[in-house]
Amino acid sequence: MRSFLTLLVRLFPLGFRRQFAPDIIEQIESDYELAARRGTLAVLLFSLSTSFDLVRGALAERWNPTWATARDPDTTGREVAMTMNEWTKDLRLALRALRRAPGFTAVTVITLGLAIGANAGIFSIVDTVLLEPLPYPASDRLVHIAASAPGTEFPDEFGVAAEFYVHYGEQSELLESVSTYNSFTSTLRVGDRTERVRMSFPTPSLFSTLGATPILGRLPTPEDEDRVAVISHAAWTSWFASDPDVIGQSYYISGTNRTVIGVMAPGFWFPREDVLLWVPSDVRAEDITPGRFGAPLVGRVAPDVTNEALADELTRLALQLPERFGGSAAYARLMERHRPVVRSMEEELLGDVRGPLRVLLGSVGIVLLIACGNVANLFIVRAEHRQRDLAVRRALGAGRRALIRSQMAEAVLIAGLAGALAVGLARVSLPLFIRAAPDDVPRLGEVGLGATTLLFTLGASLFAALACGLLPAIRASAPNLDRLREAGRGSTGRRHWARNGLVVGQTALALVLLIGSGLLVRSFWSLRNVDPGYDTADLFTFQIAPERSDLTDGPAWAAFHMDFAERIRALPGVASVGIVENLPLNEGVSSGRYLTEATAADVDGGALVYHTWAGEDYFATMGIEVRQGRAFQRSDHISDLGNVIVSRSAADLMWPGESPVGQRLKSRDLDQWETVVGVVEDVLQYGFRDDPQPMIYFPLVGQTPTQWALSSPAYVVKTPRAESIGPEIREIVREIAPMAPMYRMFTMEGLAADSMVRLSFTMLTLGIASLMALILGAIGLFGVLSYVVAERTQEIGLRMALGAEARRVQGMVVGQGARVVLLGVALGIAAALASTRILGNLLFGVEAIDAGTFVGMSATMLLVGLLASYLPARRASNVDPIQSLRGE
């Protein structure tokens, strides 16, 4: 907007500009800053009044110069001024004309305003989320590095191990700097306030890799080891009241006391916006056990290095790892298969949201096109009513340009009003929209109607003015002088090509949106009907971290959790309680290599199986079916017998064709055998789109005092009061572990909805867009046919007087509509065939080119089109022959 205003300064004559332009621009910039501090509305008002003032001042200066040296032979200026003057005159006339046609004005302004408003809203999101650069200097040189091993049973992409970080950092010539990081929630205690917050655990090099500097304090060095923390600006304000003395203070952070050494700038985040602090710790080459995969890398490449070149170098470096760090033969074999995954950090952080946002921007863009089509149609009708008027003006010597200008003036006014309405609509609806959006979309909190969006809205309005007004204006500027001779009646079908063309285009575009949203609806249903292996109804879940110093061994933990579970079970309405270390849909699970008695000799092999820990009535509470054997009993939890339960696919993997119950298994890294006591149904851990992982469940508590894996498990509570039981449980927590934060409180239904939120949100938005498109398209067709019928009233009357049946007349009109719609549907199918692929991984259980959806939506479009044709057709068949002929 600011650059737009400075552009307006160029309207002043050259001499004036030479003397005053820098001063004028300084004043605009300073005042703009002031306005920007007062908010969007102030910027809008300032921009409007300043534009007005500049245009007026420039015109006045050209007309009646105040600056002595301005009297240079600047004739183009005078021409511009004259044109501007004529525009002013035309706009004033148009305003008067529109005031006399309130219906037309209201319909067109509302149609365009809705469409431009939707575009402004989505654009402001796209602008903030996708177009603004990441908050790191030269962020285009930041890359995400992970690992893959095609042809092995490893996932398509997985985090690297510590030796990669060390070796890449020392040996790579293309990487300037590299860091590895992790992030999870852990406990932060400041004074009496104890909460689980998200923290990141990077190597100290993270900040230099990102090019970030603190606003307070300093950055970590390897010498700090893991005794320090750097806090985010958000943590500084919300936890420490922006107190600069926080630097050097010690707080309980993730299990121990650490010293705060730095505060990052507002706006800095990594790798997620909700990370409140960073606990750096370095990796030393001599401490590494190779092959512990899991953490991604962020690297800064030297200028002009392509991802491919880096991938080649890293492939080579990875092959040197077994020699340098040792490891098993399996590790060496894996390194032969290893291929690095390299992509830009921007894609890593924003890639997931880019697709849906582009789909949304595209669909609201289509709605705008359709709306423009409708309004253009109305303008054509309006111009045709004025044919005689225009012909008179032309005959009296009005130039073609003047006629176009006078026609365009109305379109410009309408679009301007629609733009203003759009800004208002976007202001009101944007917050609602953002609340409905998935909350893992980065930077969503910063979205607002900024200057860029206002500029975009201005552009969209100008586009709408051109799209709506130009075609009718050009057509109207060449009025048929013959019309003067006619008594203002009748017309031929030939002139309808433009309007029919508009309807064909609208129908095609609307059908593309309909098919797109149809595919998303089908995906949504498919996802809803996936059986994840567990129930989601009537389940409340939460986590606590007891933070009690007396819990130092397995049995103590066991006693604590059993007592706690017992207390929850005693609450009214609670059917059962379960405990699990990694709750499906909320947390990931880790994996290991497991051997059976048959494969025990293969110390390098073993099946890749995931593991977690379950306790109390976990399987019954979650509704996970026990297929063979039994679920855990209390004796499994308090003994060290080593009983485990495996999932169906783990059983199939380790003992194909055998009964798994009674079989033994062991981790490749440990020397303890476990006995399988039961087989349970597979569960979908990560979401409804993924395949289930083979899984081993260990008893959650009561393993040997030296081997217990319990930190902060998730509780699941089966109760019809899942929505409201939270506070009662919190009371119990306050009694038994006053320092324990209770967090990650959800209902399983909520988690399931969250896991589909990206799809459901896109589906909802695209659904609304396609509904708008369908309605606008139908209105367009209805308008065209109504007009045709009105125009042909006399012809139809004559036909009926000559004995044509009402049904035939109806058929004639509907047939005309059907031809237009059919053409539109054919074009729409072709366009949809070419474009539904961009829905990509939003789709689930349905192909991008799905015959059922294509046929169904085409039929819907056709039906709506026929309905829109039928109403004017019925009017046509009701024409009274006598009445219509009397008009002759």
Partner 1 sequence: MTDGSESGPSNIEYHVLLAMAEGPLYGYAIKGAVEAESDGTLTPRAGSLYRVLARLMTRGLVREAEPSHAEEPHPGRTRRYYALTPEGRTTLAEAARRLKAVAALAEERLGAAGGP
Find the binder of partner 1 among 28, 520, 558, 752 (CB under 8 A).
28
Helices and strands: H and E segment counts in the chain = 27, 22
Q: State which residue, 11 or 825, has the beta carbon closest to partner 1.
A: 11
Find the binder of partner 1 among 10, 33, 53, 883 (CB under 8 A).
53
- How is the chain split among helix, strand and coil, in percent rounded to 5? 55, 15, 30
CA–CA distance, 391 with 481 (Å, rounded to integer):
6
> Site for partner 1 (CB under 8 A): how many residues?
29
444 SS3 class: helix
Minimum CB distance to partner 1, residue 13 (Å): 10
Q: State which residue, 54 or 821, has the beta carbon closest to partner 1.
A: 54
Minimum CB distance to partner 1, residue 20 (Å): 4
Q: State which residue, 33 or 602, has the beta carbon closest to partner 1.
A: 33
Can you point out the beta strands (E) in 476-625?
Answer: 539-544, 576-580, 590-596, 607-616
Residues in CB range of 781: below 8 A, 6 or more apart: 503, 506, 507, 817, 820, 821, 865, 868, 869
Minimum CB distance to partner 1, residue 490 (Å): 52
Find the binder of partner 1 among 45, 60, 481, 859 (CB under 8 A).
60
What sign results for the dihedral spanned by CA atoms 25, 31, 32, 33?
positive
CB 172 within 8 A of CB 300: no
Minimum CB distance to partner 1, residue 31 (Å): 8
Q: State which residue, 53 or 669, has the beta carbon closest to partner 1.
A: 53
Alpha helix (H) ranges present in 437-449?
none
Q: State which residue, 25 or 826, has the beta carbon closest to partner 1.
A: 25
Minimum CB distance to partner 1, residue 86 (Å): 20
CA–CA distance, 5 with 2 (Å, rounded to integer):
5
Alpha helix (H) ranges present in 529-604?
554-569
CA–CA distance, 639 with 206 (Å, rounded to integer):
44
Minimum CB distance to partner 1, residue 62 (Å): 11
Minimum CB distance to partner 1, residue 36 (Å): 16
Minimum CB distance to partner 1, residue 466 (Å): 27
For position 88 contacting partner 1 by CB under 8 A, the verdict is no
Minimum CB distance to partner 1, residue 822 (Å): 56
What 8-state DSSP symbol labels residue 160?
Answer: B
Draw the binding track, 617-636, toward partner 1 (x: CB under 8 A; -: no contact): --------------------
For 375-419, give the DSSP string: HHHHHHHHHHHTHHHHHHHHHTT--HHHHHHHHHHHHHHHHHHHH
Binding segment toward partner 1, per CB under 8 A, in 66-74, 125-133, 212-220, 601-609: 66-74
Find the binder of partner 1 among 7, 14, 49, 720 (CB under 8 A).
49
CA distances for 207 relative to 65, 396, 532, 731, angstroms: 58, 75, 40, 41
- Amino acid (1-letter code) at residue 873: A
Minimum CB distance to partner 1, residue 95 (Å): 23
- Give residues 162-221 in contact with partner 1 (rule: CB under 8 A): none
Find the binder of partner 1 among 2, 4, 57, 750 (CB under 8 A).
57
Q: State which residue, 4 or 67, has the beta carbon closest to partner 1.
A: 67
Nearest partner of 319 among 158, 169, 168, judged by Cα:
168
Minimum CB distance to partner 1, residue 21 (Å): 9
Cα 206–209–210 angle (5° rounding)? Answer: 85
* Sheet containing strand 339-344, strands side by side: 175-180, 297-301, 142-148, 339-344
Q: State which residue, 68 or 241, has the beta carbon closest to partner 1.
A: 68
For position 68 contacting partner 1 by CB under 8 A, the verdict is yes
CB atoms within 10 A of CB 68: 8
Minimum CB distance to partner 1, residue 7 (Å): 13
- Amino acid (1-letter code) at residue 827: L
CB 342 within 8 A of CB 332: no
Binding segment toward partner 1, per CB under 8 A, in 65-73, 258-266, 410-418, 513-521: 65-73
- Give residues 8-27 in contact with partner 1 (rule: CB under 8 A): 9, 12, 16, 19-20, 22-27
Q: State which residue, 49 or 724, has the beta carbon closest to partner 1.
A: 49
Binding segment toward partner 1, per CB under 8 A, in 50-58, 139-147, 216-224, 880-888: 50-58
Minimum CB distance to partner 1, residue 50 (Å): 6
Find the binder of partner 1 among 43, 58, 166, 246 (CB under 8 A).
58
Find the binder of partner 1 among 66, 76, 529, 549 (CB under 8 A).
66
CA–CA distance, 773 with 768 (Å, rounded to integer):
9
Residues in CB range of 237: below 8 A, 6 or more apart: none
Tokens at residue 363, please? 């669909």
- Give residues 820-849 in contact with partner 1 (rule: CB under 8 A): none
Minimum CB distance to partner 1, residue 83 (Å): 19
Tokens at residue 460, please? 């969209």
CB atoms within 10 A of CB 651: 25
Q: State which residue, 61 or 791, has the beta carbon closest to partner 1.
A: 61
CB 680 within 8 A of CB 627: yes
Q: State which residue, 65 or 214, has the beta carbon closest to partner 1.
A: 65
Minimum CB distance to partner 1, residue 11 (Å): 9
For position 31 contacting partner 1 by CB under 8 A, the verdict is yes
Write out the H or E segment, with its range, that includes residue 699: strand 695-699
- Amino acid (1-letter code) at residue 689: R
Binding segment toward partner 1, per CB under 8 A, in 61-69, 424-432, 715-723, 835-843: 61-69
Q: State which residue, 58 or 813, has the beta carbon closest to partner 1.
A: 58
859 SS3 class: helix
Find the binder of partner 1 among 7, 10, 14, 30 (CB under 8 A).
30
Binding segment toward partner 1, per CB under 8 A, in 49-57, 148-156, 415-423, 502-510: 49-57
Minimum CB distance to partner 1, residue 457 (Å): 23
CB 296 within 8 A of CB 159: yes
CA–CA distance, 728 with 793 (Å, rounded to integer):
74
What sign results for the dihedral spanned by CA atoms 869, 872, 878, 880?
negative
Tokens at residue 559, please? 């006693």
CB 672 within 8 A of CB 736: no
Minimum CB distance to partner 1, residue 66 (Å): 4
- Give residues 393-452 in contact with partner 1 (rule: CB under 8 A): none
Minimum CB distance to partner 1, residue 12 (Å): 8
Find the binder of partner 1 among 1, 43, 44, 54 (CB under 8 A).
54
Q: State which residue, 87 or 686, has the beta carbon closest to partner 1.
A: 87
Nearest partner of 280 among 357, 200, 186, 345, judged by Cα:
200
CA–CA distance, 805 with 799 (Å, rounded to integer):
9
Q: State which residue, 22 or 222, has the beta carbon closest to partner 1.
A: 22
CA–CA distance, 825 with 512 (Å, rounded to integer):
9
CB 680 within 8 A of CB 584: no
Draw the binding track, 847-876, toward partner 1 (x: CB under 8 A; -: no contact): ------------------------------
Q: State which residue, 71 or 89, has the beta carbon closest to partner 1.
A: 71
Pairing of strands 607-616, 339-344: unpaired
What is the binding site for partner 1 (CB under 8 A)?
A: 9, 12, 16, 19-20, 22-28, 30-31, 49-50, 53-58, 60-61, 64, 66-68, 70
